[in-house]
Amino acid sequence: MEDQSRLLQPHPGVGMAVHSLPPHSQSDGGDPEGRKQDIGDILQQIMTITDQSLDEAQARKHALNCHRMKPALFSVLCEIKEKTVLSIRGVQEEEPPDPQLMRLDNMLLAEGVSGPEKGGGSAAAAAAAAASGGSPNDNSIEHSDYRAKLSQIRQIYHSELEKYEQACSEFTTHVMNLLREQSRTRPISPKEIERMVSIIHRKFSSIQMQLKQSTCEAVMILRSRFLDARRKRRNFSKQATEVLNEYFYSHLSNPYPSEEAKEELAKKCGITVSQVSNWFGNKRIRYKKNIGKFQEEANLYAAKTAADATTVVGQQGSQANSPSTPNSGGFPAPCYTPDRRIQ
DNA sequence: TTCTATGATTTACT
DNA sequence: AGTAAATCATAGAA
């Protein structure tokens, strides 16, 4: 605290620079030549202080500190300082927020890497789902995989960030202590300390920026891999296709399975409900577009269901609960409508 | 390599 | 929300 009060305070009793030395310096014989010699000596000592060993330098420093001319020299330094500080001031003050950094921050926030952790990274999953426009309830395997990888990235990011912050604050306090220590021998304004701190922070934030950049890259790579995986098409098993086709052709007049039916089909085929929906969507449109092409297939499945029906009918009586007649043979171009199905 | 089949995605509509 | 229609992208056949 005592140091602080000393910062840049013109030494009491000392007015202007070299010309007004403390009175007792003049009692040194009052010889101008001798005084010049004296100052020259001191300056010489200061200049050569770096050439000495540490112990010598410490001793010298102490000696200089106690020198009777020290206050005068100190005040000179203060004055010089005051002038230079004035010229520095204003040159660098404003710190415009880096657009690049803001972009990175925004992206990390959007991806759920930075910002508050929401229950098990669901924010990230939601963000991914929203970004890809996919239905959020399927692809659970990929989703969990993606989430796991993302939370890993998140973890690394945060631990690194913490490390940087710790290092930064450690370094800052170290430098501040150093400056405070130095303020015993040279005048250091609080402004200067502030400046130094901001320089340090800038340096560290540029390192942080690198971290953010590489984190963003990692997320991008993960994202693209994830999306690629989703886009990668795997044909359904023969058996699954058979089950779906069976349903489709036996419900040809109304090939719109209910939610329950879809679930059942999904279970039978080992695929998701939205895959079933996709399949029926594709099938309807493709069948409608080119009925002729599907004729053979239709006949095949019609015969199949008919055969199945007869075996069941044998025991049950009239027609099985197949809701529509699998009008085998000539397929009239059915005109599907989502609400009142066939027209 | 090209072509076709097919699962997934996108867009627009109701 | 569910669908039609167009489109994308890849698997698998030729």
Q: Which residue's CA is nearest to the C1' of nucleotide B10? A: A133
pLDDT score at A212: 87
Give the C-alpha separation, A250 to A308, whole Å. Answer: 11
Which part of chain A has CATH 1.10.10.60?
A: 238-310
Q: Of residues 218 to 237 in chain A, which lie within 7 A of strand C by their beta carbon?
A: 228, 231-235
Sign of CA dihedral A294, A296, A300, A306: positive
Q: State which residues between 252 and 311 of chain A bring their CB within 7 Å of strand C.
A: 256, 259, 277, 280-282, 284-285, 288
Q: What are the residues with a C-beta under 7 Å from any atom of nucleic chain B?
A: A 132-135, 230-231, 233-236, 241, 275, 278-279, 281-282, 286, 293
Series of mean pLDDT values for 10-residue runs along chain A (343 residues): 43 40 44 70 77 79 78 77 61 65 79 64 42 40 64 86 90 89 81 86 88 80 62 85 95 95 95 95 95 90 80 53 41 48 45
Residue A277 confidence (pLDDT): 96
In CATH, which of 3.20.20.70, 3.30.920.30, 2.30.40.10, 1.10.10.60 is domain A238-310? 1.10.10.60
Residue closest to C9, CA→C1'?
A231
* pTM check: above 0.75: no
Structure tokens at A294: 């599907």
Q: How far is the CA of A244 from the C1' of C12 (A)?
A: 21
Q: Residue A262: which nucleotide is closest by CA–C1'?
A: C2
Please state whether strand C lies within 7 Å of residue A95 at its CB atom.
Answer: no
Nearest Cα neighbor of A289 from A335, A253, A337 is A335
CA A270 to chain centre: 37
Among the listed residues A327, A287, A319, the one whose alpha carbon sits nearest the alpha carbon of residue A303: A327
> What is residue A339's predicted lDDT score, i.e. its pLDDT?
47
C-alpha dihedral over A134, A138, A139, A140, to 10 degrees?
A: 130
